[in-house]
């Protein structure tokens, strides 16, 4: 069993948990993920490792309550345990430290959680990092103070202008590039539509961009094919080949189509809890 050491509600839909998981915390790197189950009948839920503390044997997960299993998880408290906490899974984020001096991260909503360990690691390696964090409104902007600890600039954008600039992260990105800011690399993590739109901007300026894909996963070990994505015309399995890929090569439309396959079943499950 994997004990929850700490629970923090970040906003009405997003929860942070520190979980005791010595095997994972000893081996994980930025960009990898875990698959958790609440109990032995539970669904397997992939979640990015948002942070880890090798001395305390703990791993931080940050999740948005979107459906049946994340709602069950939200009901757990510090002192409760997960039945499974499997990882680290996937590839560490592919950094090119010899080529990157300035990197810009772009996060949409809960995408700030998977972006955080990547920018933190780059900063520890001496890369100058800045971040644009976007949310529907002020309440949905998470981790800004944590990014401030190592980012040169933290830009905030909200759809309604209740915090930072009004508009989308792509508006800020375009503005920064047009004002003459130069970056060697971009990392965008958030909803598929947001990553697709970020890439539409960065492609114009040939600013190479990594994205983190979150297709539906089942086993997380490359066997079921559930997480199939097309990258550069080739089939990849996000769980073992990713989850980070070259954003210029990802077929986003296919990803979005595949992600909506089980909408009806997901809705029915959620109704059972309400
Ligand atoms: C590698 C990876 C890392 C992820 N990291 C995070 C994270 O750090 N924080 C976070 O909030 N979310 C993350 N997700 C998404 C998270 O796994 C889903 O939100 C969760 O599985 C939803 O389950 P549910 O039963 O609550 O919702 P459901 O009602 O079952 O589904 C709601 C939506 O969640 C997605 N989803 C459902 N089941 C799965 C599944 N088995 N695998 C992937 N997506 C699924 C689908 O888009 C679906 O439409 C990640 C997904 C992947 C693949
Ligand atoms: S989740 Fe089964 S192959 Fe990736």
Report which of residues 182 and 40 the model is more confident about. Answer: 182
Chain mean pLDDT for the chain = 94
Tally of structural domains, the chain: 3
Whether residues 168 and 220 share a domain: the answer is no
**Domain ends where: 54, 74, 89?**
89
CA of 46 to the centre of ligand 1 (A): 6
**Domain ends where: 63, 89, 115?**
89
| Residue (of 166, 193, 216, 158) closest to 11 by Cα position | 158
**Domain ends where: 67, 89, 111?**
89
pLDDT number for residue 41: 87
Q: Is the CB of 266 under 6 A from ligand 1?
A: yes
pLDDT number for residue 12: 87
CA of 220 to the centre of ligand 1 (A): 12
pLDDT tier at 274, thresholds 50, 70, 90: low
Q: What CATH number is attached to the domain comprising 164? A: 3.40.50.80
Whether residues 98 and 168 share a domain: the answer is yes
234 CB-near residues (< 8 Å, 6+ apart): none
Minimum-distance ligand to the CA of 113?
1
Whether residues 105 and 123 share a domain: the answer is yes
| Residue (of 76, 190, 173, 182) closest to 132 by Cα position | 173
- Parent domain of 99: 93-209
Whether residues 19 and 112 share a domain: the answer is no
- Ranking 43-47, 183-187, 256-260 by mean pLDDT, the lowest is 256-260
Whether residues 195 and 258 share a domain: the answer is no
Q: What CATH number is attached to the domain comprising 71? A: 2.40.30.10
Q: How distant, in Å, are the alpha carbons of 77, 199, 202 from that of 268?
A: 26, 34, 39
CA of 96 to the centre of ligand 2 (A): 26
> What token pair was written down for 125?
């390696």
Whether residues 229 and 254 share a domain: the answer is yes
CA of 216 to the centre of ligand 2 (A): 8
pTM, entire model? 0.93
Query: Which among 16, 37, 70 is the best mutation to test ligand 1's pocket, defined by most ligand atoms within 8 Å of the CB?
Result: 70
Query: Over the stretch 166-206, which tens digit does the pLDDT of each residue have?
Result: 999 999 999 999 999 999 999 999 999 999 999 999 999 99
Whether residues 178 and 221 share a domain: the answer is no
pLDDT number for residue 267: 66
| Average pLDDT score over residue span 218-232 | 94
């Amino acid at each position: 069993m994997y004990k929850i050491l700490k629970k923090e509600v970040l906003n009405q839909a997003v929860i942070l948990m520190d979980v005791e998981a010595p095997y994972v915390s000893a081996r994980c790197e930025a960009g990898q993920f875990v698959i958790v189950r609440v109990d032995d009948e539970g669904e397997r839920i992939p979640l990015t490792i948002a942070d880890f503390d090798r001395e305390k044997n703990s791993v931080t997960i940050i999740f948005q309550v979107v459906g049946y299993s994340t709602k069950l998880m939200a009901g757990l408290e510090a002192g409760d345990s997960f039945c499974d906490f499997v990882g680290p899974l996937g590839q560490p984020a592919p950094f090119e430290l010899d080529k990157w001096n300035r990197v810009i991260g772009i996060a949409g909503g809960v995408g700030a959680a998977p972006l955080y360990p990547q920018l933190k690691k780059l900063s520890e390696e001496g890369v100058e990092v800045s971040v644009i964090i976007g949310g529907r409104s002020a309440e949905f902007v998470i981790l800004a103070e944590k990014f401030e600890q190592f980012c040169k600039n933290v830009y905030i954008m909200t759809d309604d202008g209740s915090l930072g600039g009004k508009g989308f992260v792509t508006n800020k990105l375009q503005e920064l590039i047009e004002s003459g800011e130069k970056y060697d690399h971009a990392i965008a993590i958030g909803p598929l539509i947001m990553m697709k739109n970020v890439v539409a901007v960065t492609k114009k300026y040939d600013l190479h961009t990594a994205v983190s894909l979150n297709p539906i996963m089942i086993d997380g070990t490359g066997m079921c094919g559930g997480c199939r994505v097309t990258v550069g015309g080739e089939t990849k399995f996000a769980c073992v080949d990713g989850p980070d890929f070259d954003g210029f090569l990802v077929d986003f439309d296919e990803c979005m189509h595949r992600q909506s396959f089980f909408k009806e079943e997901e809705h029915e499950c959620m109704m059972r809890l309400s």
